[in-house]
A and B are shown apart, each in its own frame.
Chain A
Amino acid sequence: MSEDAKDPKPEAPKPVPETTTAAAAPAAAAKPAAPAKPAPKPLPTPVYNEADGRLLKERRLWPTDMWRDPWSQPRYRMAWVKLIVLVAVALGAALLLGEVGRFAVPVTSFLLEKGAAYGLPAWAPGLVWALVKIVLVLHVPLLSALVFVWWERKISAHMQSRLGPMYVGGFHGWLQTVADGIKLLLKENITPTAADTWVHRLAPAVVVAPALLAFAPVSFGKDLSAADLDVGLVYVFAMAGVSVVGIMMAGWGSGNKYSLLGGLRSAAQLVSYELPRMFAVIPVIMFAESLNLADIGAAQGGYWFGVLPRWFIFYPVVGQLSFLIFLIASVAETNRIPFDLPEAESELVAGFHTEYSGMKFSLFFLAEYAYMTLACCLAAAFFLGGGTAPLSFLDGFLPSWAWFLGKVLALVFCFLWFRWTFPRFRVDRLMDFNWKFLLPWSFANIALAGLYVMVLS
């Protein structure tokens, strides 16, 4: 044997010793005291990178071991801190900005002044002001779609104990939707050979345009509506009804049996659920005695016994019933789970937008989220008091648009929550539920509301 073989061997680096024995001793000592519930096995010591706090090494028995003691994990604590900071920043921004509606008067007077100074015709300042309002209100559905797609991905991920998008934009993938939008823009725009070309092309526009138009009379807070329509409520529902045509066009124009089936299912569903949705709002109209969305919001101002807000949802039985019917019908109207039969991805490929790609598909996507936002705005205005504060002592703490936004966000969260909790309806049960349950109860609700109005007056 050569002498090389007797050389000391280079030692492999030792793994980090685990401290299970030290932690197990007190657990064993405590055992006789509580024999019914044995102390849980302590978690193996995780190793974190000192620089950025990322988990480097954790010997896990099972992924759900993470759930046993979440507060011992720095990342979990950090996530809560981040969430609280985020909410605090949003509140601070709302406090700093104050009522946005107050900018309307100086801006209009500025426009009038400039118009007079440059000798423009009398209609010019009004036109500019109208354009400004159009641009502003157009950004509500567009930006909310951007935010809510990201939010939905995060919420759905966390409900399945995943993380969702984490890379794009640095902070929790907040630019993910923008990246997806750019990807969709750059994609090829395919028209199938069997398609009815012009119907196929027009369908996304017919779906999206009313979705954007329907935002015009929505009152986002005090003095914050693009068009102060006296028939605002009827206008919104009329516009929302036009999209059915676009969906039918998409189903027919694609030249594909699955698209056609999806389109027809969608049309049947939308037309059916339109009824209880409309009837659920009638008690609200009866109480508020107005069709103007801003007036309906304002009618819910004030407090019962100085504490409880006079929101329509707090009217006993009638309010809750109509809110629930409106919420359920809204979920069905926006084609979301559990009522997503038109685009049931496991049954109909993707329903009416199977044959759409690139920007056309993203328009359908935008319309879906715009309708979700619209439904939440309407529910917040009809039942949750629009821009009024939930408790009397909070009145005036935040600007009205911030209260409204908070309510809308809470309702959108409910939509996402339903999506990731409920399984899909069967077609016949979907129709049964609508015609045999929601519609009769919405009628009964109107009768009850009439009784209330009679007694109160």
Chain B
Amino acid sequence: MTEYFSEVFGSFFAILKGLRVTFVTMFKPAVTVEYPTEKLVPYSGFRGALLFDAETCISCNQCVKACPSSCIALENATNEAGKKVAKVAWYSIDFGKCNFCRLCEEACPTKPKAVWHSKDYELTFFRRDEMVRCWKKGFDFVGLYWDRGAQEFKKPEGQVQIQTVQERFQY
């Protein structure tokens, strides 16, 4: 008899305990990030889309050699005499091949790095042309892509979402 009632009341209060947990949780702030309108910035050291600075680059080809998926290509600039200088004429990264491994950034000998990972995790492409990002002297860090149909460089609009922090990782 007492066993029966202790079981009944015991399970009743156990149920109330469970109800208390959900009730308390209900008044805690939600952890949801409403993605398109609010965005988390990744931790420093996150390997997002690559950025490139044509001013810093000495065209040493280390990143091209380091890249395991051979997505980087560059060409030396030449001066008026036709002699190679330590500058790039153009530099390109194929994000269709890139595996975001940071080997190019680690191989880069300049200080600060000429090629480095941003925190942009929102790369989206609609055409293959958009995947190949090109840089020349005077271009932004984000670069442009070559539109083969229109035969011109275009801005990668709608591809770079995190505009706030583009810090260059210092070693």
Q: With contacts A15-B44, A163-B32 known, what are 13 further pairs, Cβ within 8 A?
A: A5-B86, A5-B87, A12-B167, A13-B167, A63-B31, A66-B30, A159-B26, A161-B31, A163-B30, A420-B22, A421-B19, A422-B15, A422-B18
Q: A14-B167, A159-B26, A417-B23 are in contact. Are A66 and B31 (CB under 8 A)?
A: yes
Chain A residues lying within 8 Å of B23, measured Cβ to Cβ, are 417
Q: Smallest distance from the beta carbon of A268 to chain B beta carbons, Å?
A: 24
Chain A, residues 1-41, CB within 8 Å of chain B (1/0): the string is 11011010110111100000000000000000000000000
Contact with A along B45-71 (1 / 0, CB 8 A): 000000001011010000000000000
> A73: which B residues are within 8 A, CB to CB?
29
- List the B side residues contacting A157 at CB < 8 Å: 30
Alpha-carbon distance between A283 and B1 when the two chains are bound, in angstroms:
25
Which interface class (under 10, 10 to 19, 20 to 34, 35 or more) fits B?
35 or more
- Contact sample, A vs B, 25 pairs, CB 8 Å cutoff: A2-B79, A4-B55, A4-B87, A5-B56, A5-B87, A9-B55, A10-B53, A10-B55, A13-B167, A54-B37, A55-B33, A56-B39, A60-B40, A64-B31, A70-B29, A73-B29, A158-B25, A158-B26, A159-B25, A159-B26, A161-B28, A161-B32, A162-B32, A421-B18, A421-B19
Q: Is the CB of A55 within 8 A of B38?
A: yes
Whether a CB of chain B sits under 8 angstroms from the CB of A315 is no
- Pick from B25, B40, B166, B168: contact of A161, CB under 8 Å: B25
B residues less than 8 Å from A63 (CB atoms)? 31
The answer, yes or no, to whether A304 is at the interface (CB within 8 Å) is no
Q: Quick one: which of A15, A59, A420 contacts B167, CB cutoff 8 A?
A: A15
| Cβ contact within 8 Å between B55 and A2 | no
Bound-state Cα–Cα, A73 to B29, Å: 9
A418 to B38: give the CA distance in the assembly, Å.
32
| Residues in B105-137 with C-beta less than 8 Å from chain A | 112
Inter-subunit contact A15/B29 (CB<8 Å)? no
Residues of B within 8 A of A56 (CB): 38-39, 164
Contact A155 B26, beta carbon cutoff 8 Å = yes
Q: Let me know if B26 and A5 touch, CB within 8 A.
A: no
The reply to whether the CB of B85 lies closer than 8 angstroms to some CB of chain A is yes
Chain A minimum-CB-distance residue to B23? A417
Q: Report B149-171 residues with CB < 8 Å from chain A CB.
A: 164-168
Chain B residue with Cβ nearest A73: B29
* In contact, A5 and B58 (Cβ under 8 angstroms): yes
Chain A residue with Cβ nearest B118: A12
B21 at the interface (CB under 8 A from A): yes
Nearest 8 A/B pairs, CB to CB: A63-B31, A163-B32, A421-B22, A163-B30, A158-B26, A76-B29, A159-B22, A70-B29
CB distance from B61 to the nearest CB of A (A): 16
SS class, residues of chain B in contact with chain A: loop
Q: Quick check: is A93 within 8 A (CB to CB) of the other chain?
A: no
A60 CA to B33 CA in the complex, in Å? 12
The residues of A that contact B39 with a CB separation of less than 8 Å are 56
Bound Cα distance from A60 to B31, whole angstroms: 10
**Least distance between B64 CB and chain A CB atoms (Å):** 19
- Asked if A128 is at the interface (CB within 8 A of a chain B CB), the reply is no
B41 in the interface (beta carbon within 8 A): yes
Interchain CB contact (< 8 A) of A13 among B38, B55, B85, B166: B166
Asked if A123 CB lies within 8 Å of chain B CBs, one says no
Alpha-carbon separation in the docked complex, A361 to B85 (Å): 72
Q: Which residues on A sit within 8 Å (CB–CB) of B29?
A: 66-67, 70, 73, 75-76, 79, 161
The yes or no answer to B3 lying at the interface (CB within 8 A) is: no
Q: Is the CB of A158 within 8 A of B165?
A: no
CB distance from A444 to the nearest CB of B (A): 13
Chain A 395-436 near chain B by CB (<8 Å), digits 1 or 0: 000000000000000000000011011100000000000000
Nearest residue in B to A167 (C-beta to C-beta)? B34
Query: CB-defined interface of B8-26 with A at 8 Å, one 1/0 digit per residue?
Result: 0000000100110111011
A124 at interface by CB-CB < 8 Å:
no
Give the complex CA separation of A407 and B42 in angstroms.
Answer: 47
Contact of B165 among A9, A13, A54 (CB under 8 A): A13
Residue of B nearest to A67 (CB): B28
What's the least CB distance linking B120 to chain A, in Å? Answer: 13
Q: Are B86 and A1 in contact (CB under 8 A)?
A: yes
Q: Which residues of B contact A58 (CB under 8 A)?
A: 40
User: For the complex, what is the distance from the CA of A54 to the CA of B112, rounded to whole Å?
Assistant: 34
Complex Cα distance, B29 from A166, in Å, reads: 15
- What is the chain A residue whose CB lies nearest that of B28? A67
Chain B residue at minimum C-beta to C-beta distance from A423: B18
CA distance A79 to B27 in the complex (A): 10
Q: Are A9 and B53 closer than 8 Å at their CB atoms?
A: yes
Q: Flag if A417 contacts B22 (CB, 8 Å).
A: yes
A305 to B56, CA, bound (A): 87
Residues 426-456 of chain A, each 1 if its beta carbon lies under 8 Å from chain B, else 0: 0000000000000000000000000000000
Q: Are B86 and A163 in contact (CB-based, < 8 A)?
A: no
* CB within 8 Å of B: which A44-60 residues: 54-60
Known: A2-B86, A58-B40. A160 touches B34 (CB 8 A): no
Contacts of A64 in B (CB 8 A): 31
Q: Which of A4, A60, A418 has the most CB of B within 10 A?
A: A4
Assuming the contacts A5-B58, A9-B55, A13-B167, asked whether A70 and B34 have C-beta atoms less than 8 A apart, the reply is no
A residues within 8 A CB of B32?
A: 161-163
**Neighbour of A57 across the interface among B18, B41, B55, CB < 8 A:** B41
Which residues from B are CB-within-8-Å of A162? 30-32
